[in-house]
A and B are shown apart, each in its own frame.
Chain A
């Protein structure tokens, strides 16, 4: 039998204790970095924008002059562009994404094809935004312009379609945003649908529900919290998406309701002007950045809250 003396470390040595304690403190410190970075971003953007906030106040949100020469700044064009492009892209991408997710979870097609479609949608997310922008500028926009012209020709009396498409503009930006947020919506919806317990599907089919009755009345409602969360995340992503939008939206500060005309988003404005800005333009851009941050923050927090509070118990 080994005597107690053979185990030299039975009483833990000081260095060992120090390492153990130190390691824990280190991880606490590293975890705190997240909070530190997040709060710093908020504070820095806020303080950099105080000058513009003081000067333009809330008028900044509803006026659309953006003139470095006269030092007049109003971000309405960019705010409108941010909201309209992200919301409209959502309107297109949600049915597409959720429909696709249903198609690849509900036994319409063999397992292998399901997986291939799922993989392809996820790989789409791996394509950098700037490459999509390049493709949008040189391939997509020229291709869809005739269709947009038709829209203008026949529906031009609607304010949102009331200008002639001449190239870059909000409409192609919306389409490229659809491409960018489709993977998020599809893969989150797919995960949520897959998590619906099999016994619930059985219950629905067992009472003689048709496939789509089961989907609409039982399966989708059970997955709704996850799907809504995913949709909100996608909205946040669409509002903050920069490169592809900057390349295709036309970067114009002339306000127009029409999505066929060139426009701006906050992020496009930042990408475009930040490098060369000085003086009160920097502060105004920071003010716009602050607005963008608040918008995405609200959407993201709301998304987390939805996922927590809307989840059905089954």
Chain B
């Protein structure tokens, strides 16, 4: 008996298979489309507006003066400052918490609760952290009597970063082989010494990658800033300026996108260009580094 093993294109199972493959291919193309469209538009539209003045100057009050709209210099600085404040708060606390979860806890109720809380906190909408900081810090003026301030903005951002930092630390440390820990503990090193000199360095790269990605995410956030840091048209001139309203790229984009004037809209595009370049740059570089590291 001669068998016919040939592919029979008319068979209904083969037709439906081809159809489904086609559909999933189309879905995949649709899924990459937004990135391509947004990036090209931001790069072309925003990129064409970039010049040195724009990167340095302060924005002028809204108006339809294309020539003298000013720049986004203070917003760039503000974004860096507030992300910096957020890092200063969330990285030590997050790494510490991650160390506790991975190195000390013994899967008891407390650590389960902390892990659960970390997951829940990472799901809290970013606007809520803005509302929270507004109620606790802005209204109460607890920080040296200042209301809307770069500090308040940084704190709001740190709430968003905290769960990311804890999770990446926890997961990064878990990847360290137990042999390494035991080797250190086995020669009589204390837990502290083991963690600081052995475990943390061994997982440094994966923790750093995760933290940097979390940082990039925070740098692009707007919602926690719009009523904590508010906005400012001026460069900071002294350290104490962090206790006053502070501008950021993301809030600038939001405010100026809604202005009816083309001059401000253009600043919003330029700021988007800068923000996207920085964030995509950080993302791609940290991915490259962690890929290179894992290939070794």
The chain A residues found within 8 Å of chain B, CB to CB, are: 12, 16, 19-20, 23-24, 26-35, 37-38, 40-41, 44-45, 48, 95-97, 99-100, 102-104, 108, 117, 119-121, 123-124, 126-135, 137-139, 179, 182, 186, 210-213, 233, 236-237, 239-243, 246-247, 267, 270-271, 274-275, 285-286, 289, 292-293, 296-297, 299-301, 303-304
Contacts and interface: CB of A to CB of B under 8 A. Distances in A.
A211 B120 contact: no
B236 interface: no
B27 A128 contact: no
A40 B35 contact: no
A270 B195 CA distance: 43
Contacts of B35: 120-121, 123-124, 127
B117 A35 contact: yes
B117 A289 contact: no
Contacts of B86: none
A100 B25 CA distance: 7
Contacts of B63: none
B21 interface: yes
Contacts of A212: 16-17, 20-21
A126 B119 contact: no
A32 B114 contact: yes
A267 B223 contact: yes
B42 A135 contact: yes
Interface stretch (B47-55, B64-72, B99-107, B176-184): B99-107
Interface of B: 13-14, 16-17, 20-21, 23-25, 27-28, 30-32, 34-39, 41-42, 92-97, 99-101, 103-105, 111, 113-114, 116-121, 123-132, 134-136, 159, 162-163, 166, 190-192, 195, 216-217, 220-223, 226-227, 230, 250, 253-254, 257-258, 265, 268-269, 272, 275-276, 279-280, 283-284, 287
B125 A300 contact: no
B137 to A, nearest CB: 11
Contacts, number: 256
A279 to B, nearest CB: 13
Given A24-B104, A27-B100, A120-B32, A12 B190 contact: yes
B132 A45 contact: yes
23 contacts: A19-B192, A20-B192, A28-B100, A30-B92, A31-B97, A31-B101, A34-B97, A34-B121, A41-B124, A44-B136, A100-B30, A120-B35, A124-B35, A124-B38, A127-B280, A129-B222, A131-B276, A133-B253, A242-B222, A267-B223, A293-B124, A300-B119, A300-B123
A48 to B, nearest CB: 5
Contacts of B20: 212
Contacts of B32: 117, 120-121, 124
Given A30-B92, A37-B121, A242-B126, 10 more contacts: A23-B195, A27-B97, A99-B27, A103-B24, A126-B279, A127-B38, A129-B223, A130-B253, A297-B124, A303-B123
Contacts of A121: 31-32, 35
B101 A233 contact: no
Nearest 4 CB-CB pairings of A with B: A240-B125, A128-B220, A30-B96, A99-B27
Contacts of B222: 128-130, 242-243
A28 B100 CA distance: 6
Contact of A100 (B28, B125, B134): B28
Given A33-B93, A139-B41, A104 B28 contact: yes
Contact of B28 (A33, A44, A117, A267): A117
B190 A103 contact: no
Contact of A267 (B104, B114, B125): B125
Contacts of B39: 127
A4 to B, nearest CB: 14
A119 B114 CA distance: 31
B257 A38 contact: no
Contacts of B101: 31
Nearest to A143: B37
A123 B257 contact: no
A102 B17 CA distance: 13
Given A33-B97, A134-B257, A124 B34 contact: yes
B24 A127 contact: no
